[in-house]
Amino acid sequence: MAEVRRTVIVKLDIDGSDATLLHETVEEYLLACNYVVQDAWQDDYKPTSKTELHDRTYSDVREQTRLQANLVQSARNRAAEAIKGVVARWENGKEASQPHFTTPSVHYDKRSATFHDDRVSLSTVNGRVEAEYALPPEGDNPQTKYLRNDEYEVTGATLQYRDATDTFFLHIGTKAEVESEIPDDGDAENSTVLGVDLGIEQIAITSTGQFWSGGYLNHRRREYERVRGDLQQTGTESAHRTIKQMGGRETRWAEDYLHRISKAIVQEAVAHECDMIAFEELTDIRDRMPGSKKFHAWAFRRLYDYVAYKAEAEGIETTQVDPAYTSKRCSKCGTTLDENRPSQEKFCCQKCGYEVNADYNAAKNIGFRLLRAGQKSPHGGATRHLALKSGTLNVNGGYSPAVQ
C-alpha cells in the first residue's frame, strides 16, 4: 500500500460581508506569522521548535489578534517552517534574511475548518464563514477524482486570495491509500505533458518549441532600476514619492506582461491537448541560474501562479518537478554530462551529437521528468506522453507523429 496525496483547487462562492471577514482573517493571520518571526529575530539564536515558539508568542498573538487558537497555531507553524528554512540555508553557507509574510493565504486544518462535499466552513476573526465550492460538472477533473471520491480523505486546505480576479480559492489537500507501488493509480492514462523551462534571456520555453523572450522585460527592469538609483541619490521627499509611484506602475506592467505569457503557455497546452504542465521546482531557482536577480524569482513565481490558475480553468494540472540534471541531460539519448552544455545557450550531446538550444533541451527534460514520475512500473504501459513540436514522445522514447 502506498499513500497518494493530491491537491484540488476550488473557487469559493463568497458574498461581500463574508469576503470582508476573510480579508480581515488573512490580514491578522499574516500579522501573527510576522509576529512570531519578529520575536525569534530578537535573539541571535533563532528558535525553530514549535513548542518554544508557542511559549514565546501564543498569548501575545491571542491578545493582538482575534484569531481562534487553531489559526494562531497554524500561523506559528508557518513561521516555524520559514525560520527553519533560513537556519538551514545559513548552515549551508548561503545567505538568507528574516522572512516576511505578505502572500494572502491561510492554512486551515480540520479543527479550524469543516470540509463538506460541496462547501466548507472556515474559522474567521469573527465566527465562521460558510462558502460553497464552485465545482465543475462531474467528469474527468481533479475535483471529481479526489474531492468527490470517498477513497480520498481531506487533510486540510490553504485559503488563497487572488488579487487579479478578486476571488478566494481553496487548495484542498487530499490523501488516499492505494495498492500501486508508484502512487499514480489510473489518472496517468493517456495524459500528455507540456514541459516548460524558465530563464533570463528566454523567460519561458516549452517542450513544443515555443519561446517567449525575456529581453524587453529585462531591459525595462534595468531602466527602472537606473532611474530609481538616480532618484535615491536625489533623496528628496518628492523623489521618494516618485520612486513609489514608479514601483507600483512597473509591478503592474510586469504582471500584465506575465499574464499574457501565461495565457499563451496555457493556449499552447490546449493546442497540444496536454492535461499537465510541468515547470521546474521554483525553490532556490536563483541559485541554479547565474545572473538572475530577485526580480526574476518574483517573475517566475508569478508566471507559475498565473499559468496554474488559467490552466485549472481548462482542466489542466500544473506542477513542479525536480530540476536536477535537466540542463545537462540529453533529451534525445538520455546521456548526462557536464560537457553537454558548452555554453549558456547551446546544448551539444557528447554521445549522440544532438545539438539544440539549451533551454529547449531543458524544457523537454522537465516534461520528461514528469512523464517518468507517472510511469506505473518499469514494465508497465507508458501512459504519459510529452508534447513536442510535432507529435509526442512516450517514456520509452517511442515517438508518435502529430495527428493533423
**Which of 155, 239, 354, 382 is the binder for Zn ion (CB under 5 A)?**
354
**DSSP string computed for 161-213:** EEGGGTEEEEEEEEEEEESSSSS-TTTTTTEEEEEEEE-SSEEEEETT--EEE
Candidates 172-180, 238-246, 248-256, 345-353: pick the segment binding Zn ion (CB under 5 A).
345-353
Are 297 and 311 a contacting pair, CB within 8 Å? no
The distance of closest approach from Cβ of residue 207 to Zn ion in the complex, given in angstroms and rounded to an integer, is 16
The distance of closest approach from Cβ of residue 330 to Zn ion in the complex, given in angstroms and rounded to an integer, is 3
58 belongs to the binding site for Zn ion (CB under 5 A) = no
Closest by CA to 202, choosing from 300, 280, 282, is: 300
Of residues 7 and 335, the one with the C-beta less far from Zn ion: 335
The distance of closest approach from Cβ of residue 353 to Zn ion in the complex, given in angstroms and rounded to an integer, is 7
HEC letters along 10-74: EEEECCHHHHHHHHHHHHHHHHHHHHHHHHHCCCCCCCCCHHHHHHHHHHHHHHHCCCCHHHHHH
Residue 59 CA: distances (Å) to CA of 65, 73, 369, 377, 378: 10, 11, 47, 51, 54
Of residues 244 and 346, the one with the C-beta less far from Zn ion: 346
Candidates 19-27, 63-71, 131-139, 354-362: pick the segment binding Zn ion (CB under 5 A).
354-362
364 belongs to the binding site for Zn ion (CB under 5 A) = no
**Which of 69, 271, 337, 352 is the binder for Zn ion (CB under 5 A)?**
352
Of residues 69 and 333, the one with the C-beta less far from Zn ion: 333
- Residue 185: phi and psi, rounded to 5, are -70, 115
The distance of closest approach from Cβ of residue 348 to Zn ion in the complex, given in angstroms and rounded to an integer, is 9
Rg (CA), the chain: 23
Contact set for Zn ion, span 293-332 (CB under 5 A): 330, 332
The distance of closest approach from Cβ of residue 351 to Zn ion in the complex, given in angstroms and rounded to an integer, is 5
Candidates 75-83, 200-208, 341-349, 386-394: pick the segment binding Zn ion (CB under 5 A).
341-349
Are 163 and 170 a contacting pair, CB within 8 Å? no
Are 105 and 159 a contacting pair, CB within 8 Å? yes
Candidates 119-127, 186-194, 225-233, 351-359: pick the segment binding Zn ion (CB under 5 A).
351-359
Look up cell 498569548; give the residue. 59
Are 266 and 310 a contacting pair, CB within 8 Å? yes
**Which of 37, 200, 277, 349 is the binder for Zn ion (CB under 5 A)?**
349
Candidates 85-93, 205-213, 235-243, 335-343: pick the segment binding Zn ion (CB under 5 A).
335-343
Of residues 207 and 383, the one with the C-beta less far from Zn ion: 207
The distance of closest approach from Cβ of residue 349 to Zn ion in the complex, given in angstroms and rounded to an integer, is 3
The distance of closest approach from Cβ of residue 205 to Zn ion in the complex, given in angstroms and rounded to an integer, is 19
Of residues 68 and 340, the one with the C-beta less far from Zn ion: 340
Closest by CA to 367, choosing from 399, 334, 320, 335, is: 320
d(CA 26, CA 9): 18
Of residues 319 and 335, the one with the C-beta less far from Zn ion: 335
**Environment class of residue 127 by beta-carbon count within 10 Å: exposed (0-12), middle (13-18) or buried (19+)?**
exposed
The distance of closest approach from Cβ of residue 75 to Zn ion in the complex, given in angstroms and rounded to an integer, is 49
Contact set for Zn ion, span 166-195 (CB under 5 A): none
The distance of closest approach from Cβ of residue 208 to Zn ion in the complex, given in angstroms and rounded to an integer, is 20
333 belongs to the binding site for Zn ion (CB under 5 A) = yes
Of residues 211 and 354, the one with the C-beta less far from Zn ion: 354
Closest by CA to 251, choosing from 269, 271, 228, 272, is: 228
Give contact residues for Zn ion (rule: CB under 5 A).
330, 332-333, 335, 349, 351-352, 354
